[in-house]
Structure 1
Amino acid sequence: MNADLATNPPLALDSQQFDASRFPLVRLRRRAVQPGFAFAWAAQMRRLLALATPFVIVAEHDDDETADDFRLRAAWLRTHRAALGAQCRGFIVIEPRIEARATTRETLRQLTDGSGVRTVVVSSMRVAGELTPVLLKHTAVHTNTRMSQSRAV
Structure 2
Amino acid sequence: MNADLFKNPPLALDSQLFDASRFPLVRVRRRAIQPGCAFAWAAQMRRLLALATPFVIVAEHAGDETPDDFRLRAAWLRTHRAALGAHCRGFIVIEPRIEARAGTRETLRTLTEGSGVRTVVVSSMRVASELAPVLLKHTATKASARVSQSRAV
- Give the TM-score normalised by the residue count of structure 2: 0.94
1:33 aligns with 2:33: yes
Structure 1: gaps spanning 5 or more residues: none
Please report the RMSD computed on the Cα atoms of aligned residues, expressed in angstroms: 1.4
The equivalences for 1:10-89 within 5 A come to: 10-89=10-89
The Cα shift of 1:146 comes to: 5.1
Pair 148,17 (structure 1): closer, same or farther in 2 beyond 3 Å: closer
Indicate the SS of the match to 1:144.
helix
Q: Give the letter aligned to residue 36 of structure 2.
A: G
Indicate the SS of the match to 2:134.
helix
Work out the percentage of aligned pairs sharing the same amino acid: 86
Residue in structure 2 matched with residue 113 of structure 1 by the alignment:
113
Aligned length: 153
Instruction: Check conservation: 1:9, 1:23, Cα contact below 8 A.
Output: no
Instruction: Check conservation: 1:6, 1:24, Cα contact below 8 A.
Output: no
Indicate the SS of the match to 1:108.
helix
Pair 148,13 (structure 1): closer, same or farther in 2 beyond 3 Å: closer
Indicate the SS of the match to 1:62.
coil
Pair 7,96 (structure 1): closer, same or farther in 2 beyond 3 Å: farther
- Give the TM-score normalised by the residue count of structure 1: 0.94
Report Cα offsets for 1:47-84 as digits up to 9, x if no partner.
00000000000000011101111110111011110011
Which 10-residue stretch deviates more, 99-108 or 141-150?
141-150
Instruction: Check conservation: 2:105, 2:121, Cα contact below 8 A.
Output: yes
